[in-house]
Structure 1
Amino acid sequence: MVKKLFLLAALSIGVFAENAYERNCIPCHRELPTDLQGMFKNYLLVYSGEETMKAALRHYMRYPSKHISVMSDLFIDTYGIKQKLYISDQELKEAIDIYWEKYKVFGKLN
């Protein structure tokens, strides 16, 4: 009974998610100790700007590999590499754009 309720809740989150970021990013990352903001900081440290970071994220989502991940070896050894993301290019672009807008620091610092 509890498993069925959990499954129903998990499915409803995906069905009623408001945007590509909530549908495709939040459900998987919810289980990890490093939140999406922490991962954003790692990407920003490595790739510096919007265009290079977005390009790196698009590439990683299509071709995940330990060699191009910005996460530590300990993190990867513990949690593994994500599965290849099978969504449309438009859905992926939308998710990454929302992710960028949510956590970017440029223009937010006074």
Structure 2
Amino acid sequence: MARLIILFLITLSFLKADIYEENCVTCHKQLPVSIDKFFYRYLLKYSSEKAVKFALFEYLKEPSKETTVMPEAFILRFDIKKPTTLDDKQLKQALDIYWDKYKVFGKLK
């Protein structure tokens, strides 16, 4: 019986969405611009992994028109997002997942 419970808990942990899926993708699904487009805008402006993650972290903690990479038309239509409710550790974890999912480095041939 104990083995069955442990197996069930392990299975449940794999089925649970990660912090990125739960907190980022769910909201971005409501927008007409896919979440990867945001990534590529940040990559184009900031270039490196460290700079992209830092800029995203700072923006998500305190979003503003001055720090967004989105065009004015997008902001007029959808406004600036609200600050994240994730703590610093959770946000960094979500950004790591986001980076690994969309990075182009090492994927181009």
TM-score range, shorter chain: 0.7 to 0.9
Instruction: Tell me if 1:69 matches 2:82.
Output: no
For normalisation by structure 2, the TM-score amounts to 0.84
| Structure 1: runs of 5 or more not aligned | 1-15
Percentage of matched positions with identical amino acids: 46
Specify the structure having the higher radius of gyration (Cα).
2
Instruction: Tell me if 1:98 matches 2:72.
Output: no
Task: Note the alpha carbon deviations across 1:36-95, whole angstroms, 9 max, x for none.
Answer: 111111000100010000000000010000111000000000000000111111110110
CA RMSD of aligned residues (A): 1.0
| Structure 2: runs of 5 or more not aligned | 1-14
Output the CA distance in 1 between the equivalents of 2:31 and 2:16. Answer: 19
For normalisation by structure 1, the TM-score amounts to 0.83
Secondary structure of 1:21 counterpart: helix
1:78 partner amino acid? R
CA drift of 1:33 comes to 1.1
CA drift of 1:29 comes to 0.5
Partner of 1:11: none
Moved over 6 A (4+): none
Residues 42-61 of structure 1 aligned to structure 2 (within 5 Å): 42-61=41-60
